[in-house]
Structure 1
Amino acid sequence: MSVDLPIRKIIHVDMDAFYASVEQMDSPQLKGKPIAVGGGGKRGVVSAASYEARKFGVKSAMAGALAAKLCPELIFVRPNFERYSAISKQIRHIFYDYTNLVEPLSLDEAYLDVTQNKKGNPSATLIAQEIRERILKEIGLTASAGISINKFIAKVASDYNKPNGQKTVNPEEVLEFLEQLDIRKFYGVGKVTAEKMYQKGIFTGLDLKQKSLDYLETHFGKSGRYYYHVVRGIHNSEVKPHRTRKSLAAERTFSENLSSEVFMLEKLEHIAQEVSKRLNKSNVAGKTVTLKIKYSDFTLQTRSKTLPYFINDKDVILDTAKDLLYQETLSNSVRLLGISLSNLNTETKKTTVAPKPNKTVSVQLKFEF
């Protein structure tokens, strides 16, 4: 079977247990030991876990209390995001030696388009290998990589040979690779969606591929079209070097549940101050303030208000958040509050233009990777 695909050579680089690995690198006594970044205290949450901790089932976003129960020898380390950010910048400098088409997803992962690259190297596989070797030699950390014809497949592939490995999915291997893929490995299919797919007999890419576009849109809404195309190797999203920030937020989880709005005002002031600080540091402002409330039963509620003007001042953000807090009665005691600002002045008006035709190549053609 032949499918037309854009001629791109995409690398997805993903650092291995980045936060935890940085802590182990900076503190040799932690090497080889199960550590969790964050998570300390009764209400803490794990931000990252070393591979030694992951063997016990410890993972990011897990409650610290549960992590400690799973791994009694677990060592909790306070996060140092300034340090992580500084190292992330060093890693990106390495990326830019190969291409300017770098799209960071977070501090520890990024897409690179090396179709045309500064080294003149036709092999994306060899470029990925060289990048990983440089990160290890120059910084002291390991990274994994996925290499393929588009961002979706490259990201999936980067998880295959972790840690400190890489996988290339050549054009002629794309369809077979996707058909054999466990549906849980599809980027964009979360736990809830995976369970729903299981109930409908969809366990692999091949099962997904056998469903019609109408069927997928009926049962999975707008995401159905996305699933229909990616399982056929169609994902035309380009690597975007300058991603426009769409929102900026800060939040706090409390050591004790708060049961009255009065007790929350001081917390909101600190959160508003942090949001304002980040906005001013990035030299942006926004119109829409959103208050995030997580209750003691873990239900989540958001309340938003859009102002007629852009703001980044702490007092205005706080006043708006207060209005949202008092907008309606709280349904339970509160364990987390957050404030975000969106509808930023960095967003430009989008105009509708005719899409440019993709330059394509059949997967049956030879294309050096």
Structure 2
Amino acid sequence: MDRLLPKNNTQRKIIHLDMDAFYASVEMRDNPALANKALIIGQDPRQTNGHGVVATANYVARQYGVHSAMSTMKALKLVPESEIEFVKPNFEKYRVISAQIHELMYELTDQVESVALDEAYLDVTKNKLGSYSALELAIKLQKNIFKKVHLNSSFGISYNKLLAKMGSEYAKPFGRTIILPQEAKDFLALRKISDFPGIGKKTQEQLHSFSVETGADLQKLEVDFLIKHFKKMGYVIAQHAHGIDLRPVASQRKRKSIGVERTFEPNIYNQDQALTLIRNYSNQLVEKLVEKNFSAQTVVIKIRNNNFETVTRRMKLKKASRDPIEFFQSAKALFTPLEYFLKDGIRLLGLTVTDLTDTNYEEVKLDLFKTR
């Protein structure tokens, strides 16, 4: 290895978790009729004078060449009009689901670095569950995500962030990839330079001019050469080509939300049953807040009926709290205008608290109507 490269660290265990076509998958889950369509999350250009950008697309649409950041007008030209379906993004819904997914990540480790709503790194070198391997933890997380939110994900596992991310991209959708230290250089050698995170189109064009097409070609170049032509980025590229990435997983120290939800079979048709569940949820959330030493200022209710119509509503409290009665009263106020969901049957009911703040000391009020 080139003398200019730093000493590698292959002792860490890093998972990169990436949800598969996240926004599109959420919409297909909530409306199964979309599953066989070329689904594009973005404004329909036929209704916006040709304006709009693809936020994401399902795998049916991707077979036609549609991808994120493409103009929706171009996507419309690629896909037969009878096959295409546009859905306006609902970021409030996606954020709630993302919070639920991150809740599951934090069950494994506090070393979680969120990259986006649908993507995160986890350092499980030391984890909360004991002597499980990184693979066992990743599979457990993947299964728990599907069980809780009914969405598929992919993961990559390796000793650094670069390889873990490239691993999660390698076998999508529902992929599981492990890259061991002794396999890293061979894995990288077979990748196109466009597969390397951080090598954009302009840099790719410059590398192509030097007849560099793959990781193997990068590995043959001297570090001095890459630094000369690409400055600081050249040194990063050289490290990545040899499987070196010393960046730590930068954990987010504050949890964004805590939630609880259940799917019901048979469905809920009774108001008293729904309110009893919300009351119990409020107590459970307070227990979790006390355990983590948090208070919360926003209450979010989520309801899905038997037709897979899903609604979330939120209410901000006057100040951060962990009073179960206050949570219940707020959730009840949010639920009342949505009671029409009972007619078709409530399939899923959830309660989440967000806007979390650290609490040094606060008296926790007892819920006098607690039934659990």
Scaled by the length of structure 2, what TM-score is found? 0.63
1:188 is paired with a residue whose SS is: coil
Following the alignment from structure 1 to structure 2, what is the Cα–Cα distance between the partners of residues 212 and 243? 39
Following the alignment from structure 2 to structure 1, what is the Cα–Cα distance between the partners of residues 159 and 178? 10
State the partner residue of 2:41: 37
Among candidates 49, 52, 67, match of residue 59 of structure 1: 67
Scaled by the length of structure 1, what TM-score is found? 0.64
Task: Give runs of aligned pairs for residues 156-171 of structure 1, distance below 5 A.
Answer: 156-171=166-181
Following the alignment from structure 2 to structure 1, what is the Cα–Cα distance between the partners of residues 178 and 131? 16
State the partner residue of 1:7: 11
Q: CA RMSD in A?
A: 1.9
Asked if 2 retains the 8 angstrom alpha-carbon contact of 1:39 and 1:63, the reply is: no
Following the alignment from structure 1 to structure 2, what is the Cα–Cα distance between the partners of residues 121 and 47? 39
Asked if 2 retains the 8 angstrom alpha-carbon contact of 1:160 and 1:167, the reply is: yes
Among candidates 177, 182, 201, match of residue 187 of structure 2: 177
Following the alignment from structure 1 to structure 2, what is the Cα–Cα distance between the partners of residues 9 and 87? 26
Asked if 2 retains the 8 angstrom alpha-carbon contact of 1:6 and 1:236, the reply is: no
Following the alignment from structure 2 to structure 1, what is the Cα–Cα distance between the partners of residues 220 and 241? 10
Among candidates 119, 142, 146, match of residue 132 of structure 1: 142
Following the alignment from structure 1 to structure 2, what is the Cα–Cα distance between the partners of residues 32 and 13? 26
State the partner residue of 1:230: 240
Note the alpha carbon deviations across 1:280-321, whole angstroms, 9 max, x for none.
xxxxxxxxxxxxxxxxxxxxxxxxxxxxxxxxxxxxxxxxxx
Unmatched tracts of structure 2, length 5 or more? 255-372
User: Does 2:55 match 1:47?
Assistant: yes
Matching residue's letter, 1:190: G
Task: Give runs of aligned pairs for residues 226-265 of structure 1, distance below 5 A.
Answer: 226-242=236-252
Report the identity percentage. 45
How many angstroms does 1:172 deviate by?
A: 1.4
Residues 1:226 and 1:4: Cα distance change in structure 2 (over 3 Å): closer
How many angstroms does 1:39 deviate by?
A: 3.5
Following the alignment from structure 2 to structure 1, what is the Cα–Cα distance between the partners of residues 51 and 60? 23
Matching residue's letter, 1:219: H
Following the alignment from structure 2 to structure 1, what is the Cα–Cα distance between the partners of residues 244 and 139? 26
Following the alignment from structure 2 to structure 1, what is the Cα–Cα distance between the partners of residues 138 and 70? 31
Asked if 2 retains the 8 angstrom alpha-carbon contact of 1:103 and 1:243, the reply is: no
Note the alpha carbon deviations across 1:7-61, whole angstroms, 9 max, x for none.
2100000000000100111112112221111142211111110111000011111
State the partner residue of 1:71: 79
2:55 is paired with a residue whose SS is: strand
After TM superposition, the runs of 4+ consecutive aligned structure 1 residues lying more than 6 A away are: none
1:181 is paired with a residue whose SS is: coil
User: Does 2:200 match 1:190?
Assistant: yes
Note the alpha carbon deviations across 1:300-346, whole angstroms, 9 max, x for none.
xxxxxxxxxxxxxxxxxxxxxxxxxxxxxxxxxxxxxxxxxxxxxxx
State the partner residue of 1:211: 221
How many angstroms does 1:91 deviate by?
A: 0.2
How many angstroms does 1:6 deviate by?
A: 4.2
Note the alpha carbon deviations across 1:87-129, whole angstroms, 9 max, x for none.
0000000001100000000000000000011111341111111
Asked if 2 retains the 8 angstrom alpha-carbon contact of 1:102 and 1:240, the reply is: yes
State the partner residue of 1:25: 29
Task: Give runs of aligned pairs for residues 280-295 of structure 1, distance below 5 A.
Answer: none
User: Does 2:106 match 1:91?
Assistant: no
Unmatched tracts of structure 1, length 5 or more? 245-369
Give the total of aligned pairs: 245
